[in-house]
Amino acid sequence: MGKVTMTVNGRQMTAEAEGRTLLSTWLREGLGLTGTHVGCDTSQCGACVVHVDGQPVKSCTALAMDLDGAEVRTIEGMANADGSLSAIQQAFQDHHGLQCGFCTPGMVMAAAALLKENPKPTEAEVRHYLEGNICRCTGYHNIVKAVLAASGQDVSGLGIAAE
């Protein structure tokens, strides 16, 4: 057991960790930040994606101790300072980019990483970038639409998916 400290959503946070404590466990159980979801726990599904030092990382496949001192952003840190939804979150709501919502935290974090790297992606680029994030409701069409809308592009021609 040891103490691990990271800057999480702009605040310095400390919690205990064993060697085997995963970043996802440390965030959820150590800090109570349960917005980061654990889906497959095998680094396939992407529900647990957070940003570590600005990069998207599957938090179920990283050790908390290895990331001591890192800067981490989770879904809890995505809203605007006044509490309103960020552009990406609002686009998910506006375009029905979620059904059960389980994959949504990872989808939003992955989308934010994409738009930072590529502010005006094509539809194909969005689909390609999100290949590590699985939605078992298979609501991909509206997720892609939400990400394109969040990038400020006109999505009126994409139609509405018949769910």
Residues that bind another protein (CB under 8 A): 18-20, 22, 41-44, 46, 49, 52, 55-58, 61-63, 65-66, 68, 110, 113-114, 129, 131-133
Q: What are the structure tokens assigned to 45, written together?
A: 């599904």
Of 68, 25, 20, 14, whose CA–CA distance to 48 is shortest? 25
Q: Which whole-number Å values give the CA distances from 106 to 5, 13, 126, in the listed order?
A: 23, 21, 14
Select 54 or 80, whichever has its Cβ closest to another protein.
54
Q: What are the structure tokens assigned to 130, written together?
A: 């999100």
Q: In the complex, what is the shortest distance from the CB of residue 64 to another protein, in angstroms, rounded to a whole number?
A: 9
Select 31 or 62, whichever has its Cβ closest to another protein.
62
Q: Hey, how many other C-beta atoms are within 10 angstroms of the C-beta on 10?
A: 10
Q: In the complex, what is the shortest distance from the CB of residue 19 to another protein, in angstroms, rounded to a whole number?
A: 4
Q: In the complex, what is the shortest distance from the CB of residue 18 to another protein, in angstroms, rounded to a whole number?
A: 5
Select 45 or 155, whichever has its Cβ closest to another protein.
45
Q: In the complex, what is the shortest distance from the CB of residue 157 to another protein, in angstroms, rounded to a whole number?
A: 27
Backbone angles phi, psi at 16, to 5 degrees: -70, 155
In whole angstroms, what is the distance from residue 16 CA to residue 18 CA? 7
Select 49 or 146, whichever has its Cβ closest to another protein.
49
